[in-house]
Structure 1
Amino acid sequence: MSTEPHDELAGTEQPFVSHLIELRDRMIRALIAVGIAFGVLCLWPGPGGMYDLLAQPLVASLPKGSTMIATNVISPFLVPLKVTLMAAFLVALPVVLYQVWAFVAPGLYSHEKRLVLPLVVSSTVLFLMGVAFCYFFVFGQVFKFIQGFAPKSITAAPDIEAYLGFVLTMFIAFGAAFEVPVAVVVLARMGVVSIAKLKEWRGYFIVGAFVVSAVITPPDIVSQLSLAIPMCLLYEVGIWAARIFIKHTKAPDAEAETPAA
């Protein structure tokens, strides 16, 4: 009778070409999901409506009668389409990440699946939370702060392409900042750093968070605090979550060795 440990993945190997075909199919499904979301958003509220929604925090802070401008001939056509495509990707993000999960899941052990699936879901939710926090809270405060310092002799008329670039930068910055718990959990679970070290490095992380926020965000205290403070709080959430993940995602052999140790 063999005493070798049972391999859950035995017999599941597939030829390299089969992996490429499955990867192609998963990518096509993800693109179809984005395309469907894009088509729906083009019908309602439409590209113009999508850009108006994105620009609302800035327009609300501008002096009465001020509007945004387009310095490029085709900007009024292209920029709203880019905004709609960005929104379509966010709407279809759960489907896109599910396709990623479905592609890699067959090659994972059961204890690894217990780790990856929660991370995929939590990273999606946290990124969307970061984008929503930036749009609903940060933009309004930042634009009011900036317009409050603008001289009366200046008529604000922001360019729509410049505004789109600014919005994308801020969305990515806040979305990535809200991924701090996921990064902490992954580093701790992989054994790169221990829970004790994460606690010791808390002060260094706080300093780093404020430095990063000062570099990424506009030069105002409101946006810097709005990025740095959530990062510090989410770091603490990551330490707490890492304990749970390490406990519940151990390999079977590691779980058997722990009591004996």
Structure 2
Amino acid sequence: MSDASRPPEEEQPQAPLIEHLIELRSRLMKAVIVVIAIFAVLYAFSNDIYRFVAEPLIALLPAGSRMIATEVTSPFLAPFKLTMVVSIFAAVPVILYQAWAFIAPGLYRHEKAIAFPLLASSIVLFYCGAAFAYYVVFPLLFSFFVHTGPQDVQVMTDINAYLNFVLKMFFAFGVAFEIPIATFLVIWTGITDVKSLTRKRPYVILICFVVGMLLTPPDIISQSLLAVPMWLLFEVGILFARLVRRRREDADTDTDTSR
């Protein structure tokens, strides 16, 4: 190839980078379009969605009590904000698929074999964490708060403050339910091993309760409702990693035997 037909040296490394950036922009746009489309469908039901999320508290309020709005814009912004968050939650499978499609070409076959199941499991576990918070934690937590206050105090929760509280709880429990994935990854990548994590179980339990104290209201019920599932999910992650290790050892043994 002559020097005249050869592309400039500074353009050679830029071409793949530009192609990756264009693909990344395309996949981000697809994810954003899906979120906007879901939001456009759900916006008409924004008040109903808020009512559904507030139902665990509303069902426990004493007679004559109700939720209130202390700001002029709260009746509009609170359901709007919740609908946007629900749209993002609903679009998580599409968002993660776009992320997977972007990084998958750079992975080896054995990495793809384990990465996609972990990705799918992380989605399911996050939704399970949010469902656990709504159906198990909220009724117990709100019942404790509503019935332990002074008799002469009327419970009237602001809708925006309630929304911020439940979104924090949804996020905390959703992330906490990702512990099996995190545990498996640190073992699979060789950062640590099953025996080492098993020996550190008392410290893990302590960390779970510290995290529960930081992410939940200052009462033992909500802290335990987050810390105990975190510990159990940690045990699930260790069990899963042990099973995968045994399968890998059996496969290596079969390979050596066949030789």
* TM-score normalised by structure 1 residue count: 0.87
Written as runs of structure 1 = structure 2, the 5 A alignment for 1:126-141 is 126-141=125-140
Taking the aligned partners of 2:81 and 2:254, their CA distance within structure 1 comes to 53
SS at the partner of 1:66?
coil
The answer on whether the counterparts of 1:180 and 1:234 sit within 8 Å (CA) in structure 2 is yes
How big is each residue's C-alpha offset from its partner over 1:75-116, in whole Å with a ceiling of 9 and x where there is no partner? 111110110111111111111111110110001000110121
CA displacement at 1:215 relative to structure 2:
2.2
What is residue 169 of structure 1 aligned with on the other side? 168
SS at the partner of 1:154?
coil
What is residue 153 of structure 1 aligned with on the other side? 152
SS at the partner of 2:91?
helix
The answer on whether the counterparts of 1:112 and 1:249 sit within 8 Å (CA) in structure 2 is no
**One-letter code of the match for 2:33?**
I
Matched, 1:116 2:115: yes
**One-letter code of the match for 2:189?**
M
Q: CA RMSD in A?
A: 2.2
CA displacement at 1:21 relative to structure 2:
0.7
Taking the aligned partners of 1:33 and 1:249, their CA distance within structure 2 comes to 39
What is residue 21 of structure 1 aligned with on the other side? 22
SS at the partner of 2:152?
coil
CA displacement at 1:224 relative to structure 2:
1.5
How big is each residue's C-alpha offset from its partner over 1:9-39, in whole Å with a ceiling of 9 and x where there is no partner? xxxxx71111011101111111111112112
How big is each residue's C-alpha offset from its partner over 1:177-198, in whole Å with a ceiling of 9 and x where there is no partner? 1111111111111111111101
CA displacement at 1:247 relative to structure 2:
6.0
The answer on whether the counterparts of 1:114 and 1:249 sit within 8 Å (CA) in structure 2 is no
Structure 2 unaligned residues grouped into runs of 5+: 1-14
Matched, 1:81 2:70: no
Which one has the largest radius of gyration? 2
SS at the partner of 2:242?
helix
Stretch deviating more after TM superposition (34-43 or 83-92):
34-43
Taking the aligned partners of 1:245 and 1:28, their CA distance within structure 2 comes to 37
CA displacement at 1:211 relative to structure 2:
1.8
SS at the partner of 1:61?
coil
CA displacement at 1:61 relative to structure 2:
1.3
SS at the partner of 2:83?
helix
What is residue 8 of structure 1 aligned with on the other side? none
Stretch deviating more after TM superposition (211-220 or 138-147):
211-220
Taking the aligned partners of 2:164 and 2:248, their CA distance within structure 1 comes to 40
What is residue 39 of structure 1 aligned with on the other side? 40
**One-letter code of the match for 1:100?**
A
CA displacement at 1:221 relative to structure 2:
2.4
What is residue 107 of structure 1 aligned with on the other side? 106
Identity %: 47
SS at the partner of 1:31?
helix
